[in-house]
Structure 1
Amino acid sequence: MTTLIKDTSGRTSKGSVAILCSNSRLQLRFNYGGKRHYLSLGLPDTKVNRKAAELKVQIIERDIAYGEVDLTLQKYKPQNSLGAVSLEGLEPDLRDLWEKWVDYRKPQLEAKTLEWFSTMGNHIHRMPVYTLDQSHQIRDWIVANIAADMGKRLLTRINACCKWALKTGLIAQNPFEGMAAEIKLTKAQNTDHFEIDPFAREEQEAIINAFETHRYHKIYAPLVRFLFLTGCRPSEALGLKWRHVDDDKILFKEAVVYANGKPTAKGSTKTGKDRFFPINKTLGAFLDSIKLENAKSEDLLFNIDGKPMNYNLFWRAWHGRKSGKKRYVGVVTNLAEQGQIKRYRHPYQCRHTFITQCLEAGVPIPQVAKWVGNSPTIIMQHYAGILSSVQVPEF
C-alpha cells in the first residue's frame, strides 16, 4: 500500500517532489523530462527519516529548477552514513510495482482497460508470495490458480510492468522476461479475440437462430445479427442511435464501453475516426424490423427498456458463467458442446467473419478496411491466410 506523506505543491507537478510511504519504507516521486520518477530511499517511515527525506526533496527540487537532475538517481540515494541498510528490501515488491505502473499508465488508458488492470491487481494481491526473487513461485501460482488464457495475459502485463520499473530504475532486473511465452494455450483455451477464426455461414445462422429462439436471451438476437451484418466492434454497435442511421448509410461515430459494471459513453470510435457504412437490402430490412414506430433520434438501436445494453450481460449470455458450484451454459458454448458449431469462439469473431466473407467475395481490401475502421495494412497482416486461398485468375 502506498500513502502520500507530503507534497510540496498539493500534487506532483513540475518542480515538486512528493514523499511517499510504501510498505513502511520512504520513497520520493517527481516529474521531470516528461516522465515520472520514483526513488526508493530504503529508510523506515520514522520522524527522523522523514526529515532526511525532506533534505533530499530540497536537493532534487533545486536540481529540477536548474535543469541539473541526475537521471540515474544515484546522487539522491542515501549514503552509507545514514545507516547500514541491506540491499534486500530496497526493491519494491510486485504489489507496489503494479500500483506504480498502473498509476503511470492511468492517463493513457480507457475505463474498460483500467477495470481489467484492477482485476489483475486483485490476482496479484491474492498471491502468497510477491517479492521479485520469488518470480518462479509467482509464475507457478498463476499457472495453478488462474485460467490459462488469463494467466498468460497476467504474466504479459507483469512483464510490461517490470520492464517499465527496470527502465525507471526501480528494480535492477526483470525476472519475468519471457515467462508468458512459456504458457502454451490450446485452441479451446485461447479466447483472444484478435486471433482470426471466423464462423462458417451455417455456424453463423445457427448462432443467430439459437439467440432468436432462446427463452431468456432472445433480446440479444438483434445485436448478434447486426454484428454479423456489419463487422462493427461491439462497443460501436452499443453506441448507435437512430440519428446515426440514414436511408443508405450508417454513421459510426460513438461507442459505449463498460467499466465497473457501468456504461460509459465515448464521443468517438476506438480509432477516434468517424466512418460511414453502406446499407444494403438485407441490412435495410433488418433495421426496419427493429425500429419502433415511436423511435426518437436519440434512442439507442440496441437497448433494454431505453437503457444501454450491458455488454457484460451479453457476454454471459454468449459464453456462460459460474455461480458457486452451478454452471450456466451460454448460447454459443452450448452450440459448441452440442456439436452444432465446430468450436466455441469469442463474440469478436463476428467482426472477423464479416471481414473474411467480404474478402472471399472479392471486395477490395481498401474498401473493406474503410467499412470496418481498419487500415489496409492491418487487413493484409491479419487476414493473409484468408487471402492466400484466393485463386489466380485465368488470362
Structure 2
Amino acid sequence: MYAKTQSTPETVKVQSDNGTLRLQFSTKYNPIFGGKRKHQGLSLKDTPENWQKAIAIAWRIEGDLQHPDWQQLFDPSFAKYGLKSKYTAELKLAAPIPEPEPEMTVGAMWEDYLEWKQPQLQPTTFELLYQITYTNPLKGKVYDRKNHVYLTSDNPLWDERLSGKMGDYLSRFTCCAATKHSVISALSEAFLRLQSQGRTNLTSNPFAGFNSTAVVNKTDKYKAAINADGSLLRWWDTEDTETDPDERDRRAFTKEERDIIIKAFYESDKSNVRQAAPLVEFLFLTGCRSGEAFALEWKDVFLGRDKDYIRFSKSYNGRLKNTQVTKTGETRIFKVYSKLENLLLKIKPVDAKPTDLIFTQRNGKAWYIGQLAKLWNTYELNHPQKKYVYPGVVTQLVEEGRISGYLSPYHTRHTFISLQAHAGTDLFLLATACGNSVEVIQKHYLGINPDATFCEF
C-alpha cells in the first residue's frame, strides 16, 4: 500500500483493498445507502498516481454530500464521478443525512474493549489488572491503602464523550505514574480498535501524546529529565516497563531479617501460623511467586542422584479458585540446593501421593494469598458490637523492633533474588530459575554495593 501524499476527506475515505483502491463512506451516510455501510470500488490499482486520482474523486463526492442541495448534486450512480455502482437501485435518496450521533463515552468504549481483550489474557491478569487497577481510575476511584478500600474522587472520566477534552481529565488522573501510563496505552488501543471498525467520527486519537515518560530537555541530552511523577530520569536510565506493582517494588529483607521471620512462624503459639511456616521458608528459599508455591505438587519435585530440581509450571489463584499457567506462561526448572532439599525432605509425608499439594492449610485446602496475608500482616475483623484485631507475625516483629520495617509476602521473592545476586550466584541461572531477566537483576537488585572491592590474584 502506498502512502497518501495529500489529505483525505473525513467522511469519504480512500482505502486499499487487496491491491485495489476503494472508497469507504462514513456511517452517517448509511440511511442513503439502504441502511448499510457503503464501500465503492474504484477499479484502480494501488499505485501512487491512482491514490491521487482516488483522493480527488473522494473530495468531489464529499463536497456534493455535504452541500445543502446534496440531493440534486449527488449522483447515486457515481457516473458523474467516472464510476458505476451496482447498488444504485437500492439507494434511498429521499432519506435525509442525519446529524452525526454523539461520540461514545469512555466507559462504553472501555467495556467494549474489555470484552474483546479478555480472551487474550490470563484470568487473574484480566480481573486484577484490567477490571480493577485500570478500570477504577477511569471511574474516578482512588485506592486508600490504609483502609484497603476504593474512594470516589471528583475526576471521573467514565461518562465523558470521546469528543471531549481528554487532556483535562488525563492530566488529573488519580493513580500512580506507572498505572497512568498503562491505562492511557490501553485507552489508545481501545480507540484505534473503535476507529478501525468505523464506530467513531473522530479522525485523531484523543489519547495520543499523553504518555511521554519524561519531559526531555532538548537543549542538553545529558541533563536529567523529569518523570510524570516528578522524579528525575537521568540520560542513562531506562524505564521500568513492569506493570505489576508487586514486581516493581523490589525492596528486600536482610538475611538476618529473613531468618527472624522464618523462626517466628515456626515458634508461634498459634497452630495455623506454624502450619504456614514451611511455606514461608520455601518462599524465602526459592523466590518463586506465591501462587506457584500454592499450586506445587509432589510430582513437581525431583530429588535423587541424577535429578535435583523443582518444576514450576502452574499457579493457583485463590480469588478465582483456579489453577493456571505461570505469570510468564513458561515452565521453569529450579535447581535444588542443600538447605532447600532439607526442608522438602522434612515436610514430605511418608504416604505422599504425586498429586498431593506440598503446602496446605490445616483444613487440607490450598493456600491463597489472602489467607497467608492475614497471618503475615495485622488482620482486623469488624462485628456490630466489637472489633477483633489479629496481630500478624511480621507486623509484630516490626513493632518489637526486631526487623527494620514491614514488607509484604511478595517480598520473599525479592529477598531471595537480592541475597543470591549479591552473594555472587550466576545471574543467568538466577534469572531463568526465577522467571526474570539478567538485565532486571543487574539494574534493580544489584545496584551499587559500597562494600564491593576488586579481587586480588
Q: So what's the TM-score if we normalise by structure 1?
A: 0.68
Task: Give 1:59's match in structure 2, choosing from 35, 38, 52.
Answer: 38
Distance 1:96 1:230, change over 3 A: same
> Residues of 2 paired with 1:319 and 1:153: CA distance?
26
Note if contact 1:236-1:255 (Cα within 8 Å) is conserved in structure 2.
yes
Deviations 1:223-279 (A, max 9, x none): 1100111122222212211112222423324222326x233212x433333333233
Tell me, yes or no, if structure 1 residue 160 matches structure 2 residue 185: yes
> Residues of 2 paired with 1:241 and 1:209: CA distance?
25
Tell me, yes or no, if structure 1 residue 208 matches structure 2 residue 235: no
Which consecutive unaligned segments of at least 5 residues does structure 2 have? 1-16, 19-23, 47-57, 67-95, 142-151, 215-226, 232-243
Task: Give 1:101's match in structure 2, choosing from 96, 107, 113.
Answer: 113
Distance 1:311 1:302, change over 3 A: same
Residues 202-281 of structure 1 mapped to structure 2, 5 A cutoff: 202-212=256-266, 213=268, 215=270, 216-248=272-304, 249-258=308-317, 261-266=319-324, 268-281=325-338
Cα distance, 1:297 vs. partner?
0.9
Residues 1-395 of structure 1 mapped to structure 2, 5 A cutoff: 52=31, 55=34, 57-59=36-38, 82-85=97-100, 89-90=102-103, 92-116=104-128, 117-120=130-133, 121-122=135-136, 124-125=138-139, 129-130=156-157, 131=160, 133=165, 136=168, 142=174, 152=177, 154-168=179-193, 169=195, 172-174=205-207, 177=211, 182-183=228-229, 192-212=246-266, 213=268, 215=270, 216-248=272-304, 249-258=308-317, 261-266=319-324, 268-304=325-361, 305-320=363-378, 330-385=392-447, 390-395=452-457
> Residues of 2 paired with 1:198 and 1:207: CA distance?
13
Cα distance, 1:111 vs. partner?
0.9
Q: Which secondary structure state, in structure 1, belongs to the residue aligned with residue 119 of structure 2?
A: helix
Cα distance, 1:392 vs. partner?
1.3
Distance 1:328 1:152, change over 3 A: farther
- Code of the aligned partner of 1:275: R
Distance 1:67 1:165, change over 3 A: farther
Cα distance, 1:84 vs. partner?
3.3
Q: Which secondary structure state, in structure 2, belongs to the residue aligned with residue 265 of structure 1?
A: strand
Q: Which secondary structure state, in structure 2, belongs to the residue aligned with residue 383 of structure 1?
A: helix
Note if contact 1:319-1:332 (Cα within 8 Å) is conserved in structure 2.
yes
Deviations 1:278-298 (A, max 9, x none): 333322221122222221110
> Residues of 2 paired with 1:192 and 1:152: CA distance?
15
Greater fraction helix: 1
Distance 1:209 1:105, change over 3 A: same
Cα distance, 1:99 vs. partner?
1.5
> Residues of 2 paired with 1:100 and 1:364: CA distance?
46
Identity %: 26
Cα distance, 1:140 vs. partner?
5.0
> Residues of 2 paired with 1:339 and 1:197: CA distance?
18
The worse-fitting range, judged by mean Cα deviation, of 115-124 and 125-134 is 125-134
> Residues of 2 paired with 1:236 and 1:141: CA distance?
34
- Code of the aligned partner of 2:341: G
Distance 1:102 1:214, change over 3 A: farther
Cα distance, 1:192 vs. partner?
3.9
Computing the radius of gyration from Cα coordinates, the structure with the larger value is: 2
> Residues of 1 paired with 2:192 and 2:450: CA distance?
41
Which consecutive unaligned segments of at least 5 residues does structure 1 have? 1-31, 34-38, 44-48, 69-73, 143-149
Q: Which secondary structure state, in structure 2, belongs to the residue aligned with residue 246 of structure 1?
A: strand
> Residues of 2 paired with 1:374 and 1:385: CA distance?
16
Note if contact 2:287-2:434 (Cα within 8 Å) is conserved in structure 1.
yes
Q: So what's the TM-score if we normalise by structure 2?
A: 0.59
Distance 1:388 1:321, change over 3 A: same
